């Protein structure tokens, strides 16, 4: 796993305010006791007063407090620490999901299969702060963002940040930042009804148009709406439905523009932080394109693709179960056909939404696993084998034989899913890629990848493709997206009609 960039690189990035390093390190100034993003617009401090830290928690553990001007709470996380199968990566994903808000450190250590003392030592050695420090900084910075960007009452912000009481929140915030939460409320933001808007930053480049294009081709009518500028979907449950919308952050407000705008309606404060982390994972906002592209560019074929489209990200899905069913339905059929079949499934078995959602193009939830356990799937175009696999997945999710837990390694994910009848390596790897955003997931049985990985007109076997892709680790998932995108945009050669052929065991990109 990477550590703090070389000091010379940090110094150059700080002086040039390079947004590619935003969140990869923080600049602390000993003369002021404040830490900043490398993009901070404030006058550059004297080099002798500068200290560099790999993350906000390390800077705060050293006694520094966040800058009010550049707002470190807006920095994207260092995705390299949160991606893959390393112990720290898996622990950080669980912290991001709020595990330490409800359970002790021992529970976190048990989930990643190490001792509590060893986990604490790993965090201190490699991140500069213990797990509890990372968790504490995370929730305080989120509270700071809500205080400065929204009109949520302070009681709601305390709940959103994981504090059990307003008194505890006020005390902790004052101790950490030397001010009361209400002092950040001096700049009031106009309310937009009961819609909450948040800024979600990323490191450039980011090809948001390509992200929307990928999601639009797979969008399920009534559950989600994707146009040229926004992604919209239903959230919550039948008892408390809501929606979220994601678009580009509007320019011209004095910000750098390297952010998406998240709008949320109907999300209880206590679930807000988890929702934000889910959106960040779905839109891959914590990726480090510089590190990813440097690795992929060692391959001549991928080098050309990365130069053409350096901002491609992993487009994950909102719901793991939804993606798993999409993967099964998409076996050996086109993207359009898979979307049609999945839409029929959702319309027939999804729970209807109140009429008020119709104005936004939303009409129903995607069906839950429980709803599909004994569902009669005849009549929507699925083969008997596909219908049986869908019911098997629903039962396995309910039983806990498969899940979408963040701490699973890629090998664990594949092993658990391929143990189910009807699930092969392609489907398991696709689930890892799109349901969990695993950066190294690689469906080697994919026909498109086999044909386009080399680019010489030939086709590799799955075994040959795996060997060919070995140098792409740990970012093989990004190579998948590059190759799929290139294939989707390639001109279609003229063909003459031929007799239909029996489908092979190979899958196409779903």
Neighbours of 395 (CB within 10 A): 17
Residues 324/367, Cβ–Cβ less than 8 Å: no
- pLDDT tens-digit profile of 16-44? 999 999 999 999 999 999 999 999 999 99
pLDDT above 50: residue 241:
yes
Q: How far is Cα 474 from Cα 409, in angstroms, rounded to an integer?
A: 13
Neighbours of 184 (CB within 10 A): 18
Instruction: List Cα–Cα distances, 4 to 26, 60, 126, 215, 229, in angstroms.
Output: 10, 16, 9, 34, 35
User: Which of the residues 10, 36, 67, 70 is marked catalytic?
Assistant: 36
| pLDDT recorded at residue 494 | 56
Cα atoms found within 13 Å of the Cα of residue 289, Cβ hemisphere only: 20
Residues 13/67, Cβ–Cβ less than 8 Å: no
User: Which of the residues 78, 319, 440, 446 is marked catalytic?
Assistant: 446
Does residue 474 have a cis bond before it (omega within 30 degrees)? yes
Nearest to 72 by CA among 179, 168, 199: 199
Q: Which of helix, strand or coil describes residue 506? A: coil
Categorize the per-residue pLDDT at 255 as very low, low, confident or very high, splitting at 50, 70 and 90.
Answer: low
Q: Sign of the CA dihedral 183, 186, 190, 191?
A: positive
pLDDT above 70: residue 508:
no
Composition of the chain by helix, strand, coil, percent to 5: 50, 10, 40
| pLDDT recorded at residue 445 | 96
Angle formed at CA 255 by CA 139 and CA 209, multiple of 5 degrees: 90
Q: How far is Cα 148 from Cα 168, in angstroms, rounded to an integer?
A: 20
Q: How far is Cα 234 from Cα 318, in angstroms, rounded to an integer?
A: 10
Q: How far is Cα 234 from Cα 362, in angstroms, rounded to an integer?
A: 7
Please report, rounded to a whole number, the percentage of residues in the chain having pLDDT higher than 90. 85
Which residues have C-beta within 8 Å of that of residue 256, sequence separation ≥ 6?
19, 39
**457 burial class (0-12, 13-18, 19+ CB within 10 angstroms)?**
exposed
Domain boundaries, the chain: 7-130, 194-286, 320-441
**pLDDT (mean) for 140-145:** 96
Categorize the per-residue pLDDT at 79 as very low, low, confident or very high, splitting at 50, 70 and 90.
Answer: confident
**pLDDT (mean) for 62-70:** 94
For the domain covering 7-130, report its CATH number: 3.40.10.10
Q: How far is Cα 260 from Cα 114, in angstroms, rounded to an integer?
A: 36
Q: How far is Cα 31 from Cα 22, in angstroms, rounded to an integer?
A: 22
Sheet with strand 224-226: strands edge to edge: 196-201, 259-265, 240-248, 230-237, 224-226
Q: How far is Cα 55 from Cα 342, in angstroms, rounded to an integer?
A: 41
Q: How far is Cα 25 from Cα 204, in angstroms, rounded to an integer?
A: 15
Select the CATH number that applies to the domain covering 320-441 from these four: 3.40.50.300, 3.40.640.10, 2.30.130.10, 1.10.340.30.
Answer: 1.10.340.30
Categorize the per-residue pLDDT at 251 as very low, low, confident or very high, splitting at 50, 70 and 90.
Answer: confident
| pLDDT recorded at residue 420 | 97
Residues 421/390, Cβ–Cβ less than 8 Å: no
Categorize the per-residue pLDDT at 189 as very low, low, confident or very high, splitting at 50, 70 and 90.
Answer: low
Q: How far is Cα 75 from Cα 55, in angstroms, rounded to an integer?
A: 10
| pLDDT recorded at residue 2 | 45
**127 burial class (0-12, 13-18, 19+ CB within 10 angstroms)?**
buried
Beta strands 65-66 and 240-248: pairing type? unpaired
Architecture of domain 194-286: 2-Layer Sandwich (3.30)
Does residue 205 have a cis bond before it (omega within 30 degrees)? yes
φ/ψ (deg, to 5) at 52: -115, 140
Residues 382/341, Cβ–Cβ less than 8 Å: yes
Categorize the per-residue pLDDT at 256 as very low, low, confident or very high, splitting at 50, 70 and 90.
Answer: low
Q: How far is Cα 64 from Cα 72, in angstroms, rounded to an integer?
A: 12
Active site residue 446: yes
Q: How far is Cα 413 from Cα 405, in angstroms, rounded to an integer?
A: 9
- pLDDT tens-digit profile of 356-395? 999 999 999 999 999 999 999 988 999 999 999 999 999 9
Angle formed at CA 18 by CA 13 and CA 20, multiple of 5 degrees: 105
Assess whether the region 7-130 and the region 320-441 belong to the same CATH fold. Answer: no
Structure tokens at 298: 């060692």
Nearest to 287 by CA among 317, 312, 250, 319: 312
Instruction: Supply the pTM of this predicted model.
Output: 0.93
């Amino acid at each position: 796993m990477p550590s703090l960039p070389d000091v010379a690189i940090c110094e150059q990035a700080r002086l040039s305010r390079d947004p590619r390093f935003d969140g990869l390190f923080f600049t602390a100034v000993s003369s002021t006791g404040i830490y900043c993003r490398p993009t901070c617009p404030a006058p550059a401090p004297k080099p002798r007063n500068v200290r560099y830290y790999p993350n906000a928690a390390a800077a705060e553990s050293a006694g520094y407090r966040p800058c009010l001007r550049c707002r470190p709470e807006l920095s994207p996380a260092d995705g390299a620490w949160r991606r893959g199968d390393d112990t720290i990566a898996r622990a950080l994903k669980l912290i991001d999901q709020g595990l330490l808000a409800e359970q002790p450190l021992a529970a976190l250590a048990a989930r990643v299969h190490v001792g509590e003392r060893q986990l604490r030592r790993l965090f201190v050695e490699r991140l500069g702060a213990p797990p509890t420090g990372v968790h504490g900084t995370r929730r305080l910075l989120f509270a700071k963002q809500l205080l400065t960007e929204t009109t949520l009452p302070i009681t709601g912000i305390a709940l959103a940040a994981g504090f059990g009481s307003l008194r505890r929140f006020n005390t902790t915030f004052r101790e950490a930042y030397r001010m009361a939460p209400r002092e950040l409320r001096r700049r009031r933001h106009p309310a937009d009804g009961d819609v909450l808007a948040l800024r979600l930053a990323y490191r450039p480049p980011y090809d948001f148009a390509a992200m929307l294009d990928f999601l639009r081709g797979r969008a399920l009518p009534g559950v989600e709406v994707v146009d040229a500028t926004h992604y919209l979907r239903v959230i919550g449950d039948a008892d408390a439905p809501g929606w979220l919308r994601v678009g580009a952050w509007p320019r011209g407000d004095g910000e750098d523009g390297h952010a998406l705008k998240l709008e949320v309606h109907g999300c209880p404060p206590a679930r807000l932080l988890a929702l934000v982390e889910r959106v960040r994972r779905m839109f891959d906002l914590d990726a480090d394109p510089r590190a990813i592209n440097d690795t992929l560019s060692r391959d001549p074929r991928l080098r050309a693709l990365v130069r053409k489209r350096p901002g491609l990200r992993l487009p994950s899905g909102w719901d793991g179960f939804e993606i798993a069913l999409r993967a099964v339905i998409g076996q050996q059929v086109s993207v359009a056909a898979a979307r049609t079949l999945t839409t029929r499934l959702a319309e027939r078995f999804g729970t209807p939404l109140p009429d008020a959602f119709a104005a936004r193009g939303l009409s129903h939830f995607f069906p839950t696993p429980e709803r599909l356990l004994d569902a009669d799937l005849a009549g929507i175009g699925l083969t008997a084998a596909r219908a049986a696999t869908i019911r098997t997945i629903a039962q396995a999710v309910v039983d806990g034989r498969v899940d979408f837990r963040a701490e699973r390694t890629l090998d664990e994910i594949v092993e658990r899913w391929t143990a189910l009848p009807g699930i092969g390596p392609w489907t398991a790897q696709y689930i890892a890629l799109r349901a969990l955003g695993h950066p190294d997931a690689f469906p080697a049985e994919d026909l498109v990848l086999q044909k386009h990985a080399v680019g010489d007109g030939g086709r590799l076997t799955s075994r040959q493709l795996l060997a060919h892709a070995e140098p792409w680790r740990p970012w093989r998932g990004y190579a998948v997206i590059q190759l799929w995108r290139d294939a989707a945009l390639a001109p279609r050669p003229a063909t003459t009609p031929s007799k239909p052929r029996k489908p092979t065991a190979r899958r196409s990109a779903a």
